[in-house]
């Protein structure tokens, strides 16, 4: 039976990231950068895909407000979905598009689906993330218990914001995945898989670097976005969305 290694969530995509993925034996990268519209993600993903590495475009959608945002990762989108909409509004649209909806870093701070959310929306979720280098071991154990309680498949990702971390974590699917549609089908059908990752001093150092980046991302970078930047390109009231999400927008 073929096995496909998928790093199911990266934020960075450049030559170094691609080299890291290939050296780790990763076959598929899921590219979901923050605050970037789907057409731009698709264009960049296509530019970095080749015969050895498939890059699948995706969106980590920020539902809710900055103060209480809950992230969901959507794979297999047909059309753009903005950030800063209600969780139910986002999930309704993702259902309409038949996208695979994943719960990244569940229960982490104020940026994730809570255990109550996972219970309430269990039927709309394809998998729960159970290993993420940015998190501490007890976070991962809690996520595994959450997936087990609700009988949801697991996934792991490098959640790489830094190129060196790409490919440090992967989900090994017992299936041949050669396209975006293949990945969506594997996720939604619950194909057998295992969550695997590198070990050793290098992995620990890269985990630390990612944690330090998380601190930066949620302090100075966030201040810059809130105070110095204009409307995000994924804001629901951006002209690109033509008012389609006004009824579920939180801003």
Q: What is the CATH number of the domain that holds 140?
A: 3.20.20.140
* CA 229, chain centre distance (Å): 24
Task: State pLDDT tens for residues 174-230.
Answer: 999 999 999 999 999 999 999 999 999 988 888 888 878 776 666 544 544 544 455
Tell me how many domains the chain contains: 1
pLDDT tens string 100-137: 999 999 987 778 999 999 999 999 999 999 999 988 88
Per DSSP bridges, beta strands 154-156 and 28-31 are unpaired
Q: Are 9 and 174 in contact (CB under 8 A)?
A: no
User: Averaged over 150-176, what is the pLDDT?
Assistant: 97
**pTM for this one?**
0.93
Rounded Cα distance between 149 and 161, Å, is: 30
| 3-18 pLDDT tens trace | 999 999 999 999 999 9
Task: Please report the pLDDT score of residue 215 as a whole number.
Answer: 67
Domain that holds residue 238: 4-248
């Amino acid at each position: 039976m073929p096995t496909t290694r998928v790093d199911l969530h990266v934020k960075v995509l450049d030559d170094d990231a691609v080299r890291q993925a290939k050296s780790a034996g990763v076959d598929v990268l899921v590219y979901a950068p923050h605050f970037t519209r789907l057409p731009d993600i698709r264009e960049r993903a296509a530019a970095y895909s080749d015969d050895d590495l498939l890059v699948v475009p995706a969106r980590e959608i920020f539902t809710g407000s900055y103060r209480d945002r809950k992230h969901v990762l959507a794979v297999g989108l047909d059309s753009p979905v903005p950030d800063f909409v209600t969780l139910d509004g986002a999930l309704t649209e993702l259902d309409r598009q038949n996208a695979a909806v994943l719960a990244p870093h569940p229960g982490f701070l104020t940026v994730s689906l809570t255990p109550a959310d996972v219970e309430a929306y269990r039927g709309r979720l394809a998998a729960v993330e159970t290993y993420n280098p940015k998190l501490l071991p007890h976070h991962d154990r809690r996520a595994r218990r959450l997936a087990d309680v609700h009988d949801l498949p697991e996934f792991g990702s490098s959640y790489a914001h830094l190129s060196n971390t790409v490919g440090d974590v992967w989900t090994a699917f017992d299936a041949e995945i050669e396209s975006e549609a293949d990945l969506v089908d594997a996720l939604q059908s619950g194909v057998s898989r295992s969550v695997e990752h590198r070990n050793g001093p290098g992995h620990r150092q890269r985990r630390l670097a990612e944690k330090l980046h998380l601190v930066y991302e949620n302090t100075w970078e966030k201040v810059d976005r809130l105070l110095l930047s204009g409307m995000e390109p994924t804001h629901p009231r951006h002209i690109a969305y033509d008012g389609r999400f006004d009824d579920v927008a939180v801003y």
